[in-house]
Amino acid sequence: MVTLYYFKRKFLSNKIIYFWEKESQTHKSVEAFLRNNGSLPIKRYSYSDIKKMANFFRDKLGEGGFGGVYKGKLQDGCLVAVKLLKESRSNGDEFINEVASISRTSHVNIVTLIGFCFEGSKKALIYEFMPNGSLEKFIYKENRSKADCHLEWETIYKIALGIAHGLEYLHRGCNTRILHFDIKPYNILLDENFCPKISDFGLAKICPKEVSIISMLDARGTIGYVALELTCRNIGKVSHKSDVYSYGMMVSEMVRGRKNIDTEVDRTSELFFPHWIYKRLELDEELGLHGLMNEEHHESARKMIIVSLWCIQIDPSNRPPMNRVLDMLKGSLDSLQIPPKPFVSSPT
């Protein structure tokens, strides 16, 4: 009993020491970043300001991989979204990534970061408020509530186009290339007019050319659509083409209105949607999609499918850059070629 008590106390003592050392290192890392970037065009708030702003966290909007998001209001009455960051093992990397990358941006399809809080272990980010929430609740049938409308095909197409514009800006329009690495419907926010804005830059990397594969492997478990080069070294280098892959997988789900991998279907040939829809295109068959009311709908759906299949090619070098994706979406359907089959076989 005495021996067990001794080891228990020793274990707890070491755990507390580790926690404080970790918090101290996190604090030093973040404060060093803030000192080196003293001219950030965003405001720093105290934690007491954050609590008042978010009405003591009574109105929760959602829960992301890095923390809860709450509805708030600035002193001037402007609505905001307050994201409280969870404690993590990353020494504040997600906070630094978000502030460093998003504060460099200014684009209609990138969410605006208004301010932040860093006070001890308390870390928060303040964004512009998006009244229609995230894209996932509109495109997945199982997530739609009675209050959420079914998006018309014109709106789906415009959202896909807006996201492509946002990614093209991150990859080519900034002073330094920003790779998002977490493009998925949950991280696409919609304003009152359903204009899409890319959010959640916790995994983002600022890099002029490419990013180390090793640095991404630790985070791959939280990525929505994982490009193969993030896990297989022999596929190709990790680059902006990894975002292109994620975009293609997301557009595929936007077209279908369900997850790409569907375990509820009766036939295994329909289990993986991109594989199934590719066969339809190859045989020039009816797409079998709901809500296609006219020829314009059919054309935009077909363009989005072809573009998505190009984006999810196994070899990153075969995927188009985002400026080419925009050209394909805006161009005529007749000018698009059906890409090679994106997968040798359906994934298990």
Residues 73 and 147 placed together within one structural domain of the fold:
no
Residues 66 and 150 placed together within one structural domain of the fold:
no
| 341 within domain boundaries | no
Q: Considering the chain, what percentage of its residues have pLDDT values greater than 90?
A: 42
Cα first-last separation, the chain: 51
Cα gap 160→135, rounded to integer Å: 11
**Which CATH number covers residue 19?**
3.30.200.20
Residue range of the domain that includes 249: 136-335
Number of domains in the chain: 2
- The pLDDT, as a whole number, for residue 37 is 56
Rounded to an integer, the average pLDDT of 172-201 is 91
243 tagged catalytic: no
Residues 124 and 140 placed together within one structural domain of the fold:
no
Rounded to an integer, the average pLDDT of 116-129 is 91
Instruction: List the structure tokens of 237.
Output: 């280098």
Q: Read off the pLDDT band of 25 (50, 70, 90).
A: low
- The pLDDT, as a whole number, for residue 343 is 63
Amino acid (1-letter code) at residue 109:
N
- The pLDDT, as a whole number, for residue 110 is 95
Which CA distances in Å does 187 have to 130, 200, 265? 12, 6, 27
Rounded to an integer, the average pLDDT of 146-160 is 82
- The pLDDT, as a whole number, for residue 94 is 75
Q: Read off the pLDDT band of 147 (50, 70, 90).
A: low
Residues 112 and 192 placed together within one structural domain of the fold:
no
- The pLDDT, as a whole number, for residue 211 is 46
| 141 within domain boundaries | yes
Lowest mean pLDDT among 82-86, 177-181, 272-276, 301-305: 272-276
Residues 169 and 217 placed together within one structural domain of the fold:
yes
Residues 69 and 182 placed together within one structural domain of the fold:
no
Lowest mean pLDDT among 20-29, 181-190, 230-239: 20-29
Check 59, 76, 148, 182 and give the catalytic one.
Answer: 182
Cα gap 153→157, rounded to integer Å: 6
| 344 within domain boundaries | no
**Which CATH number covers residue 146?**
1.10.510.10
Q: Which segments of the chain does DSSP mark as H helices, in order?
A: 2-36, 47-53, 93-102, 136-139, 153-168, 213-217, 241-256, 273-282, 295-311, 322-330
Residues 116 and 169 placed together within one structural domain of the fold:
no
Assess whether pLDDT exceeds 60 at residue 160: yes
Between 245 and 148, residue with greater pLDDT: 245
- Span 31-78, pLDDT tens digits: 665 566 555 668 899 999 999 999 999 999 988 767 899 999 999 999
User: Which residue among 93, 111, 128 closes a domain?
Assistant: 128
Residue found by looking up tokens 């996932």 in the block? 136
Assess whether pLDDT exceeds 80 at residue 348: no
| 348 within domain boundaries | no
